[in-house]
Amino acid sequence: MQINKKNSYTKIIFVLFAVIFGRQLYADNNKSVEIFVNRGILEEAPENTFAALNRAVELGVDGILVDVRRTKDGRLILMNDETIDRTTDGMGRVDQLLYSELQQYDAGLWRGIEFKGERVPLLSDVLMFCKINKLKLILNVKQIFLEEQVAELVRTYEMFPQVYWWGAMRSFNSKSPESPGKGLVYVSPGGLNEEKLKRIREEKKYSFTSILENDDRRIMKKAIRKGVDVLLVDYPYVAMDVLNMNTLVNSAKEIKKIQPESRPIAIAGDDPFINQKLKTLLKTLQGADKDESRTAAITLAVLPPKYTVPPLLKLLKKKNAEIKQNAVWSLSFCGNSTIAAQIEPLLDDKNTGVRREAALALKRLVAIQSVQALIDRLQIEPDINVKYDIARALSTLGNQNSAFPLFEVLGKEKNWLVKEACIEAVSNTGNDKAITILYDILVADSESDASFARTKAAWALASMGEKAVPFLIKALQDNEESARRKASWALIKIGAPAVMSLISSLNDVNEHTRSRAAQILGWLGDARSVTPLVWALKDESPLVVGSATWALGRVGTPKTLLALKAFVNSEDEDVRENVIEAIGRIMERYKDIELNSGDFAQN
C-alpha cells in the first residue's frame, strides 16, 4: 500500500506527541511520592513477616508499614493484633507472652503451605534487613510507652533516615537530639490540597495518605498528582502502574539476607546431667510462678522426646489446669501424632484454656486421626475461642469427612472470627460444595467484622483454580464494590483459565462488571484479549472505555494504536489520559520494532 509523505509526517508527529505527552502525565510530583505497602502485599504473603518484607523488596516499592508491639519480657516484635491468634498457630496476648514462646509459633502457614516456617520477627532483625536492602519503614507502634525503646533501637541501627513514625510514635519528642525520626501528618485523599501540603512541609514533616481496601487507579492518581509525600496502599501494583513503573515482581532479585535471632537450642541427648535437668524442669512446670512454669515448658519442648514425652503425658492427668496446659503445649512441639489419643480427652476438659491448647496441639502434631474428635467437639462447643481453635486445627487436618460439619457451622455461626477459621478449613477439604459456600460469604452484606472473612473467601476461591472461575465471574456482577474488587484479584491469581470467561463478561449488562473484566484482562496480559478489548472501546460507558484503554496499554500491539487514537480527544478526562498513557506504553514496548505507518494513520 502506498503511503504518502503527509501520512508519514502525521505518524511522526503523532508518535512524538504520544510519547512526550504520555511521559508528561507522570509529573515531577510523581517522582517524589513514596509508595508503601500496608504490612506487606497481603494478596501474596502473610502480614508482618520476612516473607512480606522479601516480597516488598522484589516488587520494588519504597517501603512497608509494620506494626510494633512488646512481649512480656520486653522484646519488640512485629504484630498487628493484641493477640497472636489470627496470624500464628498459637494463642494469647502479645504482652502476656515471652518471646521464647513466640519463637515456636508458625506465622506463615495460615496464608499457605509455601509460607510454612515463617516466624514472628523481632524489630531489631527487621531494621537490619531493611537497612541492607534499602527498604523504608513506617513504624506503627501499637502500644504506648514504647517510644524511647523504639527510638533507641532505630538509633542503634542508624535507621533514622529510613524510618517514619506512626501510631504511638506520632507525638514522640525524643530526649536525645540524635533521634529526629520522620514525622507523618495524615491527610485524607479527599483533603489533599497545595496549601495543606505546604504547611506540613513548613513544619518539617511529611504528608501521608492511605488508600486501603481500594484499587481504584483514579483515586491513586489524584493523590499522587496532589503531591503527597507518602502513599500507603493495599494494592501496590496499581500505584506503581500509575507511576508507570514496572509491576512485574522480580523474584530473581538478590535480596540481602540476615540471620534472625535463633530459636532455643535443644539440650543434647548425651548431656550427663539431662535426667537431673529434666526433674528440675518438670518440678518448675508444676510450680506456682506462671512465667517460670511456661519457661520450663519451653525448655522441655526442645529436649529429646524420649526423655520428655512420657513424663509430660502423665501430667495430662493432673487436676490443675495450668499444669495440663503447659504439658500439652510442650507435647505439641516435642511429641508426634502417635500421642493424639491421649490428648483428645482434653477437648472435653472443663477449662477453656486446656481445650484450646489441646485443639492447637492436635493441629501442630498433624494428628489426622483426631479429625472426628475435633468435629464432635466443634458441634457442641459453647466457647467462641475454642471453636476458633478447633476450626484452625481442622484447616490443617481436615478432609472430606469434615466438610459437611464445617458447612453447618458456617451456616449457623454468627461470630466472624470463627467463620474466618472455618473458611480456611472448608477450602482445604477438597469438597466441591465448598465453592458455593465460599461464594455466598464473598458476596454477603458488608459488615466491618466480615471484611477479613470475605477476603479469606476470595483467597480460598483463588486457590481452587479454574472450577471457581464461574463463581468469581458472578461476583463481578455484585452490587458492592468490595466484592467485585476481591473477586477481581482472585481471578488475576487464577490467571489464564479465567481469560475466556472474562472476555465474555465484556458484554455483561452491568457496566461495573464490564469495567472490572477489562481491568483484569489488562493485568493478565493475555494476547487473546486484545481484539475483545478493542471492541470494548465502542462501549457506551466511559467507565468501561477508560478501563479498556488502560488495559490495551498493557496488552495492546501497534495494530491497536489506530483504535486508541480515536479517543485522544475524548470528553472524559480518565479516558483521555488512559489513551495517552496506553499509546506511550505500546510505543515504548515496540520501540525496537519497525512499525507500519498504517498502524497510526488511515489513507
d(CA 331, CA 310): 10
Specify the pLDDT at position 268.
59
According to DSSP, residue 32 is labeled: H
Q: Residues 210-246, buried b or exposed e (16+ Cβ, 10 A)?
A: bbebbbebebbbbbbbbbbbbbbbbbbbbbbbbbbbe
H or E segment and range at residue 219: helix 217-226
The number of beta carbons lying within 10 Å of the beta carbon of residue 603 is: 10
Cα-Cα-Cα-Cα torsion 319, 323, 325, 327, nearest 10 degrees, comes to: -120
d(CA 210, CA 16): 35
Specify the pLDDT at position 29.
44
Q: Are strands 163-167 and 206-211 parallel, antiparallel or unpaired?
A: unpaired
Q: Are strands 76-78 and 63-70 parallel, antiparallel or unpaired?
A: antiparallel
Asked whether residue 501 is domain-assigned, the answer is: no
Q: Decide if 307 contacts 270 (C-beta within 8 A).
A: no
The CA distances from residue 460 to 84, 169, 429, 457, in Å, are: 22, 36, 11, 5
d(CA 429, CA 421): 13
Number of structural domains in the chain: 1
Range of the domain at 226: 28-242
According to DSSP, residue 89 is labeled: S
Asked whether residue 58 is domain-assigned, the answer is: yes
Backbone φ and ψ of 155, nearest 5°? -65, -40
d(CA 55, CA 73): 30
According to DSSP, residue 235 is labeled: -
Report mean pLDDT in 10-residue bins for the chain, 603 residues: 46 50 48 90 92 94 97 97 97 96 95 93 97 96 94 94 93 68 90 93 93 95 93 95 66 68 62 82 94 94 92 96 97 96 97 98 96 95 96 89 90 89 89 91 80 92 95 96 96 97 97 97 96 97 97 94 93 94 91 61 45
Cα-Cα-Cα-Cα torsion 325, 331, 334, 337, nearest 10 degrees, comes to: -140
Asked whether residue 49 is domain-assigned, the answer is: yes
Asked whether residue 123 is domain-assigned, the answer is: yes
| 47 CB burial (10 A radius; 0-12, 13-18, 19+) | buried
What count of Cα atoms within 13 Å lies in the side-chain half-sphere of residue 255? 22
DSSP 389-427: HHHHHHHHH--HHHHHHHHHHHHH---HHHHHHHHHHHH
Q: Which of 524, 601, 530, 532 is nearest to 568 (CA)?
A: 601
Q: Using N-to-C axis directions, what is the helix angle for 274-285 and 321-334, rounded to 10°?
A: 140
Specify the pLDDT at position 450.
85
Asked whether residue 153 is domain-assigned, the answer is: yes
Asked whether residue 407 is domain-assigned, the answer is: no
The number of beta carbons lying within 10 Å of the beta carbon of residue 542 is: 17
The CA distances from residue 120 to 80, 94, 301, in Å, are: 11, 11, 18
CATH number at residue 113: 3.20.20.190
Specify the pLDDT at position 6.
47
Q: Decide if 244 contacts 26 (C-beta within 8 A).
A: yes
Asked whether residue 56 is domain-assigned, the answer is: yes
Asked whether residue 179 is domain-assigned, the answer is: yes
Backbone φ and ψ of 163, nearest 5°? -120, 135
H or E segment and range at residue 38: strand 34-38
Number of H helices, E strands in the chain: 29, 8
Please list the residues that pair with 78 across neighbouring strands: 68
Provide the residue type at 236 as one letter: P
Specify the pLDDT at position 12.
43
Backbone φ and ψ of 480, nearest 5°? -100, 130
> Which grid cell sits at 46?
502473610
